[in-house]
Structure 1
Amino acid sequence: MLAKRVIPCLDVKLGRVVKGTNFLQLRDAGDPVEVARRYEQEGADELVFLDITASHEERGIMLDVVRRTAEQVFMPLTVGGGIRTLEDIRALLNAGSDKVSINSAACKDPEFVRAAAKRFGNQCIVVNIDPKRVPRPGVERRESRDGGNAGPHLASPASRLPASDCIWEVHINGGRTPTGLEAVAWAKEVEALGAGEIVLTSMDCDGTKDGYDLEITRAVSDAVSIPVVASGGAGKPEHLADAITIGRADAALAASIFHFGEYTIRQTKEIMAGRGVPVRL
């Protein structure tokens, strides 16, 4: 079995790494180049940079941060945020990025994914999907302590609607704008358009440290054949193991537990290995 990847995510705003809860309440977590260098030394498999306000603020991509990072860090680097054109992708790849992650632009113009994959290759094109549980039409919003009928292993600890009463709606612009797209159907579509990987970030679980939304992770992983990276909610190494063994993800992305020194990459991988997850130590 191929080794499963552990991927730190650096959300960047105004040139600094930040981390929030449910995409809000951002805290400073350091200089992106310094943080990236530390993660490479600890044994991270890849690194993801997301400029979390570029699309919302309608500004350009952070080429300088990418270039400075690529000069000092040699693990694979994926960059997203503010990508609107094929020229944006070319500029990021030339700056040292290995892959680019598209979210808002893909939802607004799905054919952009096809054009990007055709121009630069499927292996370069990642689509980031940010779903949030919203009530089905006619269903009143209510809290669910046990995750509804999802079962004890699939239900995230996050308080939310039971699966039977909700849909996973895709959001863009840093989680600010609902699209009307359903996450599993959208994942299938972007695979058909040529995306080589999906980063799936649960808005309900993001930053809570209560665990990934394993239900949607498994639903998307089962629906597509391209790699799925679970994101949003990691609070301990066991959560990353769950994303892979229960959620069937190909990789697990985390931020808070690494940024603020709760666990190192090495500690996390050792615990995952102890739970039977093949990782590169």
Structure 2
Amino acid sequence: MLTKRIVPCLDVDNGRVKKGVNFVHLTDVGDPADIAAAYEKQGADELVFLDITATNENRGAMVTTIEKVASQVFMPLTVGGGIHSVADMQALLKAGADKVSLNTAAVTNPELITAGAEKFGSQCIVVAIDVRFDAQAQRYRVYTNGGQKVTDLDAIEWAKEVVNRGAGELLVTSMDQDGTKAGYDLALYQALTKAVAVPIIASGGCGKLSDFSDLFQQTKVDAALAASVFHYGELTIPEVKQDLRQKGVNVR
């Protein structure tokens, strides 16, 4: 049985780590390299770095930041934001990223998923999907541009499509739950893991220890991503892993 992963997420804006609620009201949390090193000491399985304003500000990927982080930490790094081409992917992988994450670019140019997978292998290509539940239509809709633009894409169908195009992993964020600390959207991840066979990282809503165990015991996702609870010291990664072990969840 594969071990479940605990993945802190660093939302980066202009070279600083930020955190918000429902994708807005960002506050400064600190320096990416310092925070990454602290998470490595705690036993994080990997880190996700998302440049949350690159797309909306038409900036390129944060190559310099990743070079700095990769020189100090040795756990796997997934990096997203401002990736528009295979050359952008190559620059980040060369800088020290292990995987690249496509979100808005995957929606506007789905061929980029395939091109990246063909050049670097599917294991390097993560497609990030930001979703919100549409109560009227009774379906999950995909959002782009840092959660600012709604699309007509159905999240479950889009997940299937990106996997068919070569994505080796999905990072799926519930915008309804993001920053609320009310728990993960279990129904969303149950539906996703039935639909696709690639690893899924669940994101959005973690607020307490039991949220991690609920996620792993009630869905088949491979990793739990969290930000606020780790950034502000409300939970530590060793605490989370100890609790999961006691509940019979296989962690590193």
Fold match by TM threshold 0.5: yes
Deviations 1:49-81 (A, max 9, x none): 000010111111111110000000000000000
Partner AA of 1:92 in structure 2 = L
In structure 2, the partner of 1:50 is 50
Contact map agreement 1:103 1:128 (CA 8 A) in 2: yes
- Residue by residue over 1:160-190, the C-alpha shift from the partner in whole angstroms, topping out at 9 and shown as x without a partner, is xxxxx52111001100011110100000001
Q: Which runs of 5+ in 1 are unaligned?
A: 137-164
Give the distance between the partners of 2:246 and 2:194, measured in 1 at CA.
25
Q: Which protein is bigger by CA-based radius of gyration? A: 1
C-alpha separation between the residues in 2 aligned to 1:248 and 1:25? 32
Scaled by the length of structure 1, what TM-score is found? 0.88
Q: Is there any run of 5+ residues in structure 2 with no aligned partner, and where? A: none
C-alpha distance in structure 2 between counterparts of 1:88 and 1:198, whole Å: 19
194, 214, 227: which one aligns with 2:199: 227
Q: State the TM-score, normalizing by the size of structure 2.
A: 0.98
RMSD, matched Cα: 0.9
Partner SS for 2:71: helix
CA distance in structure 2 between the aligned counterparts of 1:189 and 1:27, rounded to whole angstroms:
35
Structure-1 separation of matches of 2:128 and 2:91:
19
Stretches of 4+ aligned residues off by more than 6 angstroms? none
Residues 175-206 of structure 1 show CA distances to partners (whole Å, capped at 9, x for unaligned) of 00111101000000011001000001000000
Structure 1 match to 2:17:
17
Is 1:241 the counterpart of 2:188? The answer is: no
Q: How does 1:1-281 map to 2 (within 5 A)?
A: 1-136=1-136, 166-280=138-252
| Cα separation, 2, equivalents of 1:208 and 1:135 | 19
Q: In the TM superposition, what whole-angstrom CA distance separates every residue of 1:99-154 from its partner, at most 9, and x where no partner exists?
A: 00000010011111011100110010000000011243xxxxxxxxxxxxxxxxxx
Kept after mapping to 2: 8 A contact 1:113/1:193: yes
Separation of aligned partners in 1, 2:135 and 2:70: 42
Inter-partner Cα distance in structure 2 for 1:86 and 1:249: 28
Tell me the distance in 2 between the aligned counterparts of 1:79 and 1:3: 22
Counterpart residue identity of residue 61, structure 1 = A
